[in-house]
Chain A
Amino acid sequence: MRDVIFMAWRYLRFYRGKTAVLVASISLILFLPAGLHVLVEQGAEVLTARAETTPLLIGAKGSAVDLTLSALYFRPPHVESMRHREVTRVDRSGLAHGIPMHLRFTAGRQRIVGTTIDYAEFRGLTVDRGRWLAMLGECMLGSEAARALGVDLDDHVLSSAGSAFDVAGSFPLKMPVVGVLAPTGTSDDEIVLVDIKTAWVIAGLAHGHEDVNSAGKDDGRVLQREGRNVVANASVLSYTEITVENMDSFHFHGNPDGFPIDAVLAVPASFKASVLLRGRYEEGDVPVQMIVPSVVVNELLETMFSVRDWVVLGGLAVGVASAMTAALVFALSIRVRRREIETIQKIGGARKRLVTILGAEITFVIVMAVVIAGVLTAVVSRFGELAARLVGA
């Protein structure tokens, strides 16, 4: 057997280019359906696990899939915003507790999630280093977000401007990082967590600036003064960072109940409460929709599985065709080597030994291809969940 392996290996090594092409082709034939299957299964697991831990979701009417993807996996929200009073309505129903989510802004490529401390409790988030949010303008980072942004505790994160050309829009807010969340293996690792009020500050619904109340008549910044109302010009310095020194100057314009949010996580007190609450949202003319994320995700997965099945089927068909081509290549290779085979037989080579050598060559190629396909599938299996989360995020 040693001689058979020697001959087969020498042949494959000498014609390494041809061998590499064959191995790569067979590897891909094996890997594509297997890798796709693993990736889709893992993606499905990630999606399902997240959806199943989120009982009810409220958002503006529109695509349930978009609402689910933005509220659970922090994809850019394509649905309309709704008013914060929806949280109050849920809480007042006594059937569930509402957790607001503001999802409009990003820091770099990481989504800023404006919410309340209840969100962290609901998702079971824990602090890896630092502390929880305590003051307006602070932020915490998911473990992957910290890595992606290249910042850590005591650094600062700048919210991204809505548009570089929107000169009248809100200024980016510089937020100190007060804590980094422990990894959870979910989309929460990718977020910049802020208080809902901080999100409204970024949105320009609250702001802080130099004190103009005490400014004298001759102060050039004051345009008009009527009782307690002071109209100042644009030279008044607006703060882009909330500090202990300037925090008192921050104030909201309007009633927070009318401020925008993108979703409400509704945590029902019981199954019965969940059913009752859903009934209320399905009845009557309500401007919002209530969805069950697991139902939405399962519908989405059914489509995904169907597409996967077709792709795998197509891959298998290509695989069969490629396997036949590979068999043809082997057959032609034997024909090309007819002279070599005749020489071996003339000098006393046994037919059985020849067949074994050729078989060993094919086996080597297939084993190498299987190993490579296995390694690739293992890599996909190892990092597929991360990939699925990245795609989801």
Chain B
Amino acid sequence: MIAVRDLTFGYPQGGFELRLRELKVTRGEGVALVGPSGCGKTTLLHLLAGILRPVSGSVLIDDVEVSALRLEDRQDYRALSMGLVFQEFELLEYLDVLDNVLLPYRISPALGLDEAAKQRAVELVEQVGLADKKNSYPRRLSQGERQRVAVCRSLVTRPRVLFGDEPTANLDADNRDQVMGTLFRYAAEKQAPLIVVTHDPELRERFPTVLDIRELTP
């Protein structure tokens, strides 16, 4: 479960401030975060994921107060427990599909790369229809294929929470459905909260809970 209480955040250079009194997301719940550009959706997502640290207030994931953790511990926690998908896919050009999927294991000392992880990566790549491209480099992939690889990367560590920042913004309808289908299935199977920032009205319809960030802030 994710619980946010009395959260405030502002950038040191000023000009933007986010205040959030309370937010709760239960296990397995799918939440679409919506709102106009610049209202703080991505900032909130980054605060929930521990990428940013709030000025005050708390972010709890299960029983861990993520917002109170040191930087290194937040990074470890993110690697161990969270799956993140971004709008721009953000694959490393010099790694092939399988190695991009296994990237969290290569960059986090908290995760140990073993045969089971490698097997899981292969299975995920096969599940998203990229079995014949597992040794291809990102530049050889289409937009949809690249995002499917990014989704595999977010799931390979078997995270307890899933975050998506406009994960389907650059995709056509087929690829959007395939990507979101994979995320929804995982969230349902593992009872993982799935929080996605989106502008897409069609995608919004698929979420049982839609939160407009303007309504959350006082």
* A binding-site residues for B, Cβ under 8 Å: 3, 6-7, 10-11, 13-15, 339-340, 343-354, 357
Contact across chains for B106 and A3 when beta carbons are under 8 A apart? yes
Q: Which residue of B lies closest to A337 (CB)?
A: B92
By a CB distance below 8 angstroms, the chain A residues around B79 are 347-349
B side interface size, CB within 8 A: 31
By a CB distance below 8 angstroms, the chain B residues around A11 are 94
Indicate with 1 or 0, residue by residue over B97-137, a CB within 8 angstroms of chain A CB atoms.
Answer: 00100011111111001000000000000000000000001
Interface of B is mostly: helix
Contact across chains for B94 and A10 when beta carbons are under 8 A apart? yes
B160 to chain A, nearest CB (A): 13
B147 to chain A, nearest CB (A): 14
Chain A CB within 8 A of B93 CB: yes
Contact across chains for A347 and B107 when beta carbons are under 8 A apart? yes
By a CB distance below 8 angstroms, the chain A residues around B49 are 346
Q: Which residue of B lies closest to A15 (CB)?
A: B94
* B binding-site residues for A, Cβ under 8 Å: 49, 51, 71-72, 75-80, 82, 84, 86, 90, 92-95, 99, 103-110, 113, 137, 153-154
Check A350/B106 contact, CB under 8 A, given A10-B95, A14-B93, A339-B90: no
Contact across chains for B95 and A347 when beta carbons are under 8 A apart? no
B103 to chain A, nearest CB (A): 7
Q: Which residue of B lies closest to A12 (CB)?
A: B94
Contact across chains for A348 and B99 when beta carbons are under 8 A apart? no
Contact across chains for B104 and A343 when beta carbons are under 8 A apart? no
Q: Kindly list the 10 A-B residue pairs having the minimum CB-CB distance in the complex, ordered from nearest.
A: A348-B79, A14-B94, A349-B107, A348-B78, A343-B90, A3-B106, A348-B108, A11-B94, A344-B107, A348-B75
Report the Cα distance A343→B110, complex, angstroms. Answer: 17
Report the Cα distance A10→B113, complex, angstroms. Answer: 17
Report the Cα distance A350→B71, complex, angstroms. Answer: 9
Cβ contacts A to B, 29 pairs, < 8 Å:
A7-B106, A10-B95, A10-B99, A14-B93, A15-B94, A339-B90, A340-B90, A343-B90, A344-B107, A345-B51, A346-B49, A346-B78, A346-B90, A347-B78, A347-B104, A347-B153, A347-B154, A348-B75, A348-B76, A348-B78, A348-B80, A348-B82, A348-B104, A348-B108, A348-B110, A349-B75, A351-B72, A352-B109, A353-B109
Contact across chains for A347 and B103 when beta carbons are under 8 A apart? yes
B149 to chain A, nearest CB (A): 13
Q: Which residue of B lies closest to A354 (CB)?
A: B107
By a CB distance below 8 angstroms, the chain A residues around B75 are 345, 348-351
Contact across chains for B84 and A346 when beta carbons are under 8 A apart? yes
